[in-house]
Amino acid sequence: MPPSKRRGAPAEPLNTQRRLNGVQHAGVAARVGVANNVVMATFPERFVWGAATAAHQIEGAWLEDGRGLSIWDAFTHTPGKTHQGHTADVACDHYHRVEEDVALMKAMGLKAYRFSIAWSRVLPQGRGAVNEAGIAFYNRLIDALVANGITPWVTLYHWDLPLALQLELDGLLNPEIADHFAHYAAVCFERFGDRVKHWITLNEPWCSAVLGHGIGYFAPGRVSQTEPYIAAHNLLRAHGKIVDVYRRRFQPAQRGVIGITNNCDWREPKTETPADRAAAQRGLEFFLGWFADPVYLGDYPECMRAAVRDRLPRFSAADRALVQGSSDFFGLNFYGGMYAAEPAPGETMDGLAPTGNGGMAADQRVALSDDPAWEKTDLNWNIVPQFCRQMLGWIDRRYGHPPVYITENGIALPGEDDVAVAVNDTRRVDFIRRYLAAAQAAVAEDGVDLRGYFVWSLMDNFEWALGYSKRFGLHHVDYRTGRRTPKASARWYADVIRRNAL
Ligand code: PNW
């Protein structure tokens, strides 16, 4: 058995984290102790406590200082695509409130802040001339973070492809897009890499593929059974090229780490029959394996090849060499899960709501369902903290014990337009506490190498097709005035961070 497969062994060779961080990861396991009759769940030393946002969801200033348009600007300005026609033209106006927002983070004692760079702010046409005003904005943000002792974690691509690349090249469907991704990334490494040491290439390529090219729920709004696989393939190739550029040209001097963030909802077998267990496994492979298998194992899952056949692209030898082994850590966005079962003969696989996370349902053929006992969030997502531990264990086993960061987890709650309701968000506190407890158990009991956790989100923001109707924030945002108000969860989370324990 290779050393990386042994439980508790260091996550080599994919992981360069320990060396590059300059300090040895102590490897002090999380533990559960009892103090003053209160059971304390402690997290590993130097655990990264963070919160996350994304450029399109918070920045606003959509036409300012030379910013180019993105596919999300075009999508939100197309009638019928978002809740009540909401756009992110202003959003949280973060573009003009950087210092104030960093102060919110500082007040919480946040160790790390995950945000994304808007490609079209840096390269308005997606390629060609650099927009120095866009560079200056991110410099302002990064400098403010560093000055306040908050580590920047930068996502290069959180879905806002420059519109020019969509119109001129067909966006993610064009294999050439990978080279444009790599060029854009090189500009970011060059300009920000002296201070940014944690890079995430792509956020949730599953969403770009399935929601953007499968069901048309997200930009660019395409509907197809074929295009999601092409978009996914080109995103994986783009990720591989970005990482290659970083490792060859920048990592040796800048000494940062780079990885990809995927989302996955857990699939729990509805019954213990072999057919339902296989359906759950298939559901996970179609969701997470689709994107993580190529990176960690070198190719798409067998079950996908068998079901999708010729619509599933093949990696050339050169692309495989770039993609395999191309992540220094495993980024996971985790929110919920469902029961999975083998469909009954003749059962149709259509009709799942977008947020049911069915994902290429006709190809994977997994019957998803809820337990009526599960509580739900305002997005109707199931509140299933116990599945967080299962999900982490699955990743740990399948991908050879990688270092993992939960780069998003959080909850939208109803009624929070009203700030008086929002500040008493005990259900958010309860949600985060229970998911964190499950994650802690995965570390302490199962040996998962979880190294950090980022709440989605630092503040209420533009929730894509749902506009401003759903609120995930630790801080309430009044969209009329721009005013931010900490919710109870912000104070509670600050306490968790301070004690490094629940
Ligand atoms: C993630 N779905 O997105 C994103 O990374 C964030 O930008 C987003 O705000 C957050 O989760 C909360 O939704 C998803 O419909 C959005 O299946 C939608 C889905 C999944 C993930």
pLDDT of residue 39: 66
Ligand 1 and 332: CB distance under 6 A:
no
Q: Out of 212-226, 353-367, 434-448, pick the least confident.
A: 353-367
pLDDT of residue 89: 98
pLDDT digits (tens, 9 = 90+) for 248-268: 999 999 999 999 999 999 999
Q: Write the CA distances from 373 to 233, 355, 376, 382, integer angstroms.
A: 38, 19, 9, 10
Quickly tell me which residue has 């970005």 as its tokens. 242
pLDDT of residue 143: 99
Distance 258 CA to ligand 1 centre (A): 21
Instruction: Report pTM.
Output: 0.94
Strand partners, 476: 485
The yes-or-no verdict on residue 150 having pLDDT over 60 is yes
Distance CA 78, CA 67 (A): 19
Distance CA 299, CA 123 (A): 32
- The backbone torsions φ and ψ at residue 136, rounded to the nearest 5 degrees and listed phi first, read -60, -40
Ligand 1 and 166: CB distance under 6 A:
no
The yes-or-no verdict on residue 17 having pLDDT over 50 is no
For ligand 1, what atom is nearest to the CA of residue 464?
9
Angle in degrees, 0-180, between the axes of helices 132-147 and 177-192, rounded to the nearest 10: 50
Q: What contacts 242, CB < 8 A, 6 or more positions away?
A: 156, 181, 182, 185, 201, 258
* Closest Cα to atom 7 of ligand 1: 54
pLDDT of residue 226: 96
Ligand 1 and 381: CB distance under 6 A:
no
pLDDT digits (tens, 9 = 90+) for 104-130: 999 999 999 999 999 999 999 999 999
* Closest Cα to atom 10 of ligand 1: 456
Ligand 1 and 54: CB distance under 6 A:
yes
Ligand 1 and 456: CB distance under 6 A:
yes
Could you tell which of 217, 260, 291, 335 is best to mutate to test the pocket of ligand 1, judged by most ligand atoms within 8 Å of the CB? 335
Q: Which CATH superfamily is 3-499 part of? A: Glycosidases (3.20.20.80)
Q: Which residue has the higher pLDDT, 39 or 223?
A: 223
Q: What contacts 442, CB < 8 A, 6 or more positions away?
A: 388, 389, 392, 393, 396, 448, 450
pLDDT of residue 357: 57
Ligand 1 and 416: CB distance under 6 A:
no
For ligand 1, what atom is nearest to the CA of residue 210?
17
pLDDT of residue 7: 39
Could you tell which of 157, 200, 204 is best to mutate to test the pocket of ligand 1, judged by most ligand atoms within 8 Å of the CB? 204
pLDDT digits (tens, 9 = 90+) for 377-412: 999 999 999 999 999 999 999 999 999 999 999 999
Asked if 342 is an active-site residue, the reply is: no
C-beta of residue 315 within 8 angstroms of C-beta of residue 294: yes
Ligand 1 and 263: CB distance under 6 A:
yes
Cα-based torsion angle of the residue sequence 9, 10, 11, 13 in order, rounded to the nearest 10 degrees: -110
Query: Active site residue: 204, 227, 342, 416, which one?
Result: 204
Distance 115 CA to ligand 1 centre (A): 14
What would the mean pLDDT of 65-75 be, rounded to a whole number?
99
What would the mean pLDDT of 161-174 be, rounded to a whole number?
99
pLDDT digits (tens, 9 = 90+) for 24-59: 343 455 676 666 666 679 999 999 999 999 999 999
Average pLDDT, the chain: 93
Distance 92 CA to ligand 1 centre (A): 17
Ligand 1 and 204: CB distance under 6 A:
yes
pLDDT digits (tens, 9 = 90+) for 340-355: 999 998 887 765 545 4
The yes-or-no verdict on residue 9 having pLDDT over 50 is no
| % pLDDT > 90, the chain | 89
The yes-or-no verdict on residue 23 having pLDDT over 50 is no
| % pLDDT > 70, the chain | 90
| Three-class DSSP category at 167 | helix
What would the mean pLDDT of 84-110 be, rounded to a whole number?
98
Residue 181 confidence class, pLDDT cut points 50, 70, 90: very high
Ligand 1 and 407: CB distance under 6 A:
no
pLDDT digits (tens, 9 = 90+) for 437-490: 999 999 999 999 999 999 999 999 999 999 999 999 999 999 999 999 999 999
Asked if 204 is an active-site residue, the reply is: yes
